[in-house]
A and B are shown apart, each in its own frame.
Chain A
Amino acid sequence: MSEYVKPPGREWLKKRLMGGTICVSVAFSILLARFVYLQVIKGEVYRHLSANNCIRLQSIPAPRGLIYDRNGTILVDNRPSFDLKIILKDADPVEETLLRLSQLMQVPLQELQEHIDNRGMQSKLNPLLLKRNISRDQLAVVKAHAFDLPGVIIDVEPRRNYIHEKCAAHVLGYLGEVNGEEIRKSKYPDVRSGDAIGRDGVEKEFETVLHGKRGGRQVEVDATGRLVRVLNTVDPVPGQNIFLTIDLELQQAAESLLEGVSGAVVAMDPATGDVLCMASSPAYNQNDFIGGISHKKWQALQQDPGRPMTNKALQGEYPPASTYKIVTAIAGLEEGAVNIHTSRFCSGRHKYGNRIYRCWKKWGHGDVDIIGSLEQSCDVYFYNVGQDVGVDTLAQYARGCGLGKPTGIELLKERSGLIPTAAWKRKRFGVSWQGGETLSIAIGQGFNLVTPLQMAVLIAAVGNEGTLYRPRILKSVQGSPGESPVEQIPEITGGIPAGKETLRIVREGLLRVVHGKRGTARSVKIDGVTMAGKTGTAQVFSMKKKDRDRSKDDPLDYLLRDHAWFVCYAPAENPVIAVSVIIEHGEHGATAAAPVASHVVKTWLERSGYFENQEKQ
């Protein structure tokens, strides 16, 4: 420091510390005065308030948002549930009250006692749940004997109700009680122990929208726990209502078509990506989960070989089989391996190296071009295309078509499927790619895996001339009752990597699948509407020749039967619906899956008044 600083002397220090002492004294005087005010002047009042512990906090649950279908038909609502609760502080003596309660309600005493033994950290003043959702009769008995049951209260809480049991179970999801871990991590704000939160589907995905905000009131009660007056109330904020893109009737139609089989149906609006229905069979009953599912029912669901808890539309991964020929055709045309005039001779077999690759038609298709080979699903033609294009280029087109990655739908646990490349195989198995494997890939067998939802997005994009939409399940959200819902905007994720001409050729081929003389799905034509589609029959196991010969006579064991695929859109010129269907172990796409898809298309066209409009014109 350049200038000399004169350090202050003792007198200065004394003065400064005196100032400090005065400040501290003033502050302490304020505190002391407050103690005098609270404890001496108002002491009597507060002693009285504390004697009865009469200021209590009661919570008011927020009703969860309702869920509607695209037309405003209600799918999920809330019903009042009468819950029996007890405030231990008021229920003195507790044992006597419980005994009386168990006699009146004809419930084993032990069942009630259990709740009290397990109360843990709860205060004696918090209402403790004894029995959820008691019956009307039990309610009447408890109300009638209210005076003999001190501390026993009935709380009316909203309870989730799935109006159409099992309907769209996988889309809607179900509720479960929040666990300690989730509360600690404060994953959801405003959720406390005992609250139910979404565990799957829309209920989980839109938890924060649907949940609402809990309210409460400060009340003064008398010595027996009866309400004297309400001091303060905070109203709960109900959860927001949501409208799904699902159409209830179409959903129910799809589900009834899947009755008794294992599989999935997805229908989309090709112009927006709206999921019109998404059915997965078998389904589960969401109402079983309300208030906690029983162990027995949970075990049964877990052990069911039909995997009812899996949403097969987006969690089921299957070999795409011949539906994949759409991708192979696009790749072949775009890469110049074939053009509209290229024809190949199919003798029913194709030699590659020293192996024979068969066509599904034993005696062959003869001379076929690209359109004919799509129509008849000729394997040999696509073996040739695959061979010319190569596995990695094929994979590039498949990815461009949205395969091998999640579609981005707002539902959880979506699988991404698998589009193999040579590099992938080396990394995964440590061996190099075999040329013959490319042939299998070209017809959708081998390592290829897709979900029915991915195929729906792809076929919808073929239908709308190339636009890939993110499939969406949420149509709009209603901020508060009476408000007009806010529409969500459709989202484009990309385009099929194909020019206009390529798409025209592929669309022509797919049209012939249904309307051609030799089309594989010509049996599912609908009067008055054009439909374009593609069948597929996915081998579950690649069987050796001798097994296949032997099994010709034996009925195949169910689990060894092929999966049946059908993807389609209609009307072919300007589609309003695209459908993807998988029937597990359905054996033939044309006979098991195509009729389901055709029925879904027909139902939707009827519902949207398509046929009436046609007649008018």
Chain B
Amino acid sequence: MFDRRLFEYFDWGLFVLTVLICSLGLGVLYSAVTAGDVPGMDMIFKKQIIWMGGGMIFMISSFLIHYKFIDKASLIIYVVCVALLAAVLVFGKHVAGSTRWLALGPFTVQPSELMKLSLIIVLASVFSTCVTEEGLGFHGLIKPGALLAIPFLFILKQPDLGTALLLLFIAASMTLFVNVQKKVFFSCAALAAAATPLVWMILKDYQKARIMTFLNPDRDPLGAGYHIIQSKIAIGSGMIFGKGYLQGTQNALSFLPEQHTDFILSVLAEEWGFVGCCALLMLYFFFLLWGFNIAYGCRDMFGSILAFGITIMIFWQIFINIGMVMGLMPVVGVPLPLISYGGSSVITNMAGIGLLMNVSMRRFLSG
């Protein structure tokens, strides 16, 4: 089933962009864990290299199978992921007040991460059959709405507000991409506005506290408020050219919370300054444009919507994470794609990029 031409059309541009971002990420992570002067942290760097290696394998395995098969299997993949989510609630490992991890032998997996990809696949599959130039009506939204609601509620229950919102944003973006009729759009907006107080009621206390803290950081000067202040000091003190690699003082004194995971950008910003941040933004921007281009290049609706969905998933992570560390958004715990430390995040994003390549490589092949 492999076509030799497949390799001729290998998407080198996307591959190089991915490798560049990963290398930058490893460089920053190295600084974050070594200068952090915290014993046992060197393991983190080694583990991240292993995760990235593992991510590559996922990337390759997800572009070898023709995406048409993925289209056909989309519902099965979705059901399996939802089952895993349900299993987490029953057998899950308890980490820091919420249950997100599932132990499978020696590995712990975070099904909520896998859920992102499987939701994109299943939505792409559903939308590809009903998309029209006029946009979707109310009828067309029932199925996607249900597909989103099930994992969304499960993840909210874990509780993992960040990932749940990410799912919502991804689904909303994909829906807007395939377009909805004007009356549908305005009704949904009105409905969302009306539902906000209801959502507020089901949030856990600490989630409410985070949102309140975002709106008014002075509310929690010892927790999130302090993190954001320190993160802002780290970023701002980088000025234009930064303090130099491994020279970040905020980082070196363990001032920053979770400097190797969610707050890793502040390490980069402190050491590389505005120039480094611009470079990272540029790399990400090119990456996203590349992804949109793949969506445009694809000859069938499923491939286009899938490529768009994955690109927009990566976009939302970037936007939420950077906005968070710069004090533009609540601290919700979304990692920076390919830069933050964390196995599940690396593997999900790499597998997503594999799917992008999958679509990209087959753009000139029929059937």
Give the B-binding residues of A (Cβ under 8 A): 1, 5-9, 12-14, 16-17, 19-21, 24-25, 27-28, 30-32, 34-36, 38-40, 42-47, 49-51, 53, 55, 57, 59, 89, 120-121, 123-125, 186, 215-218, 231-234
By beta carbon, the residue of chain A nearest B242 is A39
The answer to whether A53 and B221 touch across the interface, beta carbons within 8 angstroms, is no
B236 sits at the interface (CB 8 A): yes
Q: Please name 5 pairs of A and B residues whose Cβ atoms are closer than 8 Å in the assembled complex, sorted by A.
A: A31-B323, A34-B323, A38-B235, A39-B274, A231-B221
The answer to whether B38 and A121 touch across the interface, beta carbons within 8 angstroms, is yes
CA distance A12 to B301 in the complex (A): 12
Q: A28 CB to closest chain B CB, in angstroms? A: 6
Q: A23 CB to closest chain B CB, in angstroms? A: 8
In the bound complex, residues from chain A placing their C-beta under 8 Å from that of B310 are none
One of A25, A50, A218, A233 near B237 (C-beta < 8 A) = A50
CA distance A39 to B240 in the complex (A): 6
The answer to whether A186 and B97 touch across the interface, beta carbons within 8 angstroms, is yes
In the bound complex, residues from chain B placing their C-beta under 8 Å from that of A16 are 177-179
User: By CB atoms of chain A within 10 A, which of B129, B222, B253 has the most?
Assistant: B222
In the bound complex, residues from chain B placing their C-beta under 8 Å from that of A231 are 221
The answer to whether A39 and B308 touch across the interface, beta carbons within 8 angstroms, is no
CA distance A174 to B249 in the complex (A): 42
B233 sits at the interface (CB 8 A): yes
Q: A113 CB to closest chain B CB, in angstroms? A: 18
CA distance A43 to B131 in the complex (A): 48
Q: A46 CB to closest chain B CB, in angstroms? A: 3
The answer to whether B132 and A40 touch across the interface, beta carbons within 8 angstroms, is no
In the bound complex, residues from chain A placing their C-beta under 8 Å from that of B278 are 32, 35
One of A9, A24, A215 near B288 (C-beta < 8 A) = A24
The answer to whether B133 and A53 touch across the interface, beta carbons within 8 angstroms, is no
The answer to whether A50 and B233 touch across the interface, beta carbons within 8 angstroms, is yes
By beta carbon, the residue of chain A nearest B285 is A28
Q: Interface size of B by Cβ–Cβ distance < 8 Å?
A: 62
B130 sits at the interface (CB 8 A): yes
The answer to whether B253 and A218 touch across the interface, beta carbons within 8 angstroms, is no
The answer to whether B253 and A55 touch across the interface, beta carbons within 8 angstroms, is no
The answer to whether B253 and A6 touch across the interface, beta carbons within 8 angstroms, is no
In the bound complex, residues from chain B placing their C-beta under 8 Å from that of A43 are 236-240, 274
One of A14, A47, A186 near B239 (C-beta < 8 A) = A47
CA distance A217 to B269 in the complex (A): 27
Give the A-binding residues of B (Cβ under 8 A): 37-40, 96-97, 129-133, 173, 177-179, 218, 220-222, 225-226, 229-230, 232-240, 249-250, 253-255, 269-270, 273-274, 277-278, 281, 284-285, 288-289, 292, 295-296, 301, 304, 308, 311-312, 315, 319, 322-323, 326, 328
Q: A87 CB to closest chain B CB, in angstroms? A: 11
By beta carbon, the residue of chain A nearest B229 is A55
One of A39, A186, A215, A233 near B269 (C-beta < 8 A) = A39
Q: A35-B278, A121-B38, A218-B229 are in contact. List 14 more A-B contacts (CB 8 A).
A: A7-B131, A7-B132, A24-B285, A24-B315, A28-B285, A35-B277, A40-B239, A40-B274, A50-B234, A53-B249, A53-B253, A121-B39, A123-B255, A218-B221
User: By CB atoms of chain B within 10 A, which of A16, A21, A32, A38 has the most?
Assistant: A38
In the bound complex, residues from chain A placing their C-beta under 8 Å from that of B326 are 31, 34-35, 38
Task: Enumerate the 7 nearest inter-chain pairs by beta-carbon distance, A residue then B residue, closest first.
Answer: A46-B236, A50-B237, A232-B221, A43-B239, A123-B254, A216-B222, A39-B274
One of B225, B288, B319 near A31 (C-beta < 8 A) = B319
CA distance A391 to B310 in the complex (A): 75
CA distance A299 to B225 in the complex (A): 46
Q: B239 CB to closest chain A CB, in angstroms? A: 4
Q: Knowing A28-B285, A46-B237, A50-B234 are in contact, say whether A39-B277 is a contact too (CB < 8 A).
A: yes
CA distance A46 to B229 in the complex (A): 10
